[in-house]
Structure 1
C-alpha cells in the first residue's frame, strides 16, 4: 500500500450524496472548499471505536480554537452512506463538525486514500488522515503510518492545531458531579457556562452513584468540580478559582 501526501494539489471535484434533516443534501467539493480555509479529517468508519471515542470528539472540542485561527469549517469524511453519517453525527452530538458521506468512495479514491479492509468486513474504506485545505488546495496533510491495525497518531485535532498555531491555548478539561434539583449544582453550571467553559456533567443516580462520587473525589456532597484533573470543589470554591484564574463569569 502506497500512501502519498498531495500537498500543493487541488482536492478532487466530486458530488457527495449527504443527508440533512432527513432529506437528501447533495454537496459539491466547491461548496466546501472554494475560497475557504477548511480542516478535513477522514476515517475508516462511522460508529467505530477510535473514530467515535477520540477522533470526532476531540475535533468537536477544539473546533472553536481551530476556527479562531481562521478555519471556516471542519469536515469529517468517511466512506459511509448519508443515512449512516447523519445518524452518527446525531449520536456524537458533534454540531461543530460537518459530516460528509463519501458513500461511493469517489473522493477518497481520487485522494489515493481508498484501502481494502475486507478482513474486517468493511470492504473499501478510507485510510485515516487529516489535511488543511485553503481555497481548494491542500496545504498540509497528515497521513497515519502504513502499519497493521488502525494507527492513530498524527491525524488528530491536537496535531492539526499544533501546525496551525503552536501557542494556542487548549480548552480545559472540566468534569462536574451533580444531582437533580441541587441549587448549588445549578449555580456551578451557570458559572461555567457564563465563563464559556465546556464541561462534562456526571449526574448522580443516572451516570454514577454516591459510592462512585466518594471513590473518585473523596467527597459526599455535590457539586464537585474538576479541572484538568485538579479537584476545585463546590460552587463557592469554583467562584474563587474562576476569579483567581481571571475567568470571570459575565455579569
Structure 2
C-alpha cells in the first residue's frame, strides 16, 4: 500500500552520502522533530533526475526553508557511493541530503517501488515527493509513469 497523508514514516535505515563517505542514518533521526521534504528519483545520473528534479530542489532550497522546511532529502535506489558521486557532479553541498536506499527496503515500506527489471534497471523508486512533519506525512505526490509535474520543487512549494 502506498504511503499517504496521515501515515507515519516507516522505520528504516538509509545510507547518507557525505564528504567523509557513507554514513548510516535512521528515518527516526532524519524526521523526528523536523519538517522534511523527501523526494525520490528512479536513479542517480538519469536524464530527468539530473536535468530537472534534483536541480529544482537545489534552486528552490531557500524558498522551501523560508516555508519552514528543515531538511530537503533526495533518495534513490542506488548505493551511497553513487549518490555521493551524483552530488559531486551536481555541485550539491548542504542544500540537499543525499540518501541511498540500496536494497529498496525503505522504498518498499513506502509502497513506492518501481519494477524496471524488464528494462535492465532492476527494482527502483517511483518519482515522488512527500512532506512530513515530525514523522507524520502531510503531503504525498507520486508521478504517473514518464511524468514530471507533481513531484517537482515548485509543486511542493505550492503544497506547503
TM-score range, shorter chain: over 0.9
The residue number in structure 2 matching 1:151 is: 147
Paired residues of 1:131 and 1:138 also in contact (CA < 8 A) = yes
Quick one: which of 49, 52, 61 aligns to 1:51?
A: 49
Structure 1 unaligned blocks of 5 or more: 165-251
When the two chains are superposed, the root-mean-square deviation of aligned CA atoms in Å is 1.3
* Paired position in structure 2 for 1:124: 123
1:161 maps to which of 151, 157, 160:
157
> How far off is 1:22 after superposition?
4.2
Report deviation, 1:58: 0.8
Q: CA deviation at 1:19?
A: 3.4
For residues 107-142 of structure 1, what are the alpha-carbon distances to aligned partners after superposition, in whole Å with 9 as ceiling and x for unaligned? 100000111011221100000110010000110101
Following superposition, the deviation at residue 23 of structure 1 comes to 2.7
- Unaligned runs of at least 5 residues, structure 2: none
Larger Rg: 1
Cα separation, 1, equivalents of 2:15 and 2:66: 29
Question: In structure 1, how many angstroms separate the alpha carbons of the residues matched to 2:16 and 2:68?
Answer: 26
Summarize deviations over 1:186-240 as a string: whole Å, max 9, x none.
Answer: xxxxxxxxxxxxxxxxxxxxxxxxxxxxxxxxxxxxxxxxxxxxxxxxxxxxxxx
Q: Which residue of 1 aligns with 2:13?
A: 15
Query: Aligned pairs, how many?
Result: 159
Contact 1:18-1:81 within 8 A present in 2 as well: no
TM-score (norm 2): 0.95
SS at match of 2:43: coil
In the alignment, which residue of structure 1 is the partner of 2:64?
66
Tell me which residue corresponds to 1:106: 105
Residue 22 of structure 2 aligns to a residue in which SS? Answer: strand
TM-score, normalised on structure 1?
Answer: 0.61
- Mapped to 2, the partners of 1:62 and 1:46 lie a distance apart of 19
Of structures 1 and 2, the one with the larger relative CO (CA 8 A, separation 6+) is 2
CA contact (8 A) 2:39 2:129 kept: yes
Q: Which has the higher strand share?
A: 2
User: Runs ≥4 in structure 1, deviation > 6 angstroms?
Assistant: none
> Alpha-carbon deviation of 1:20?
1.9
In structure 2, what is the equivalent of residue 76 of structure 1?
74
User: In structure 2, what is the equivalent of residue 90 of structure 1?
Assistant: 88
Q: Which residue of 2 aligns with 1:30?
A: 28
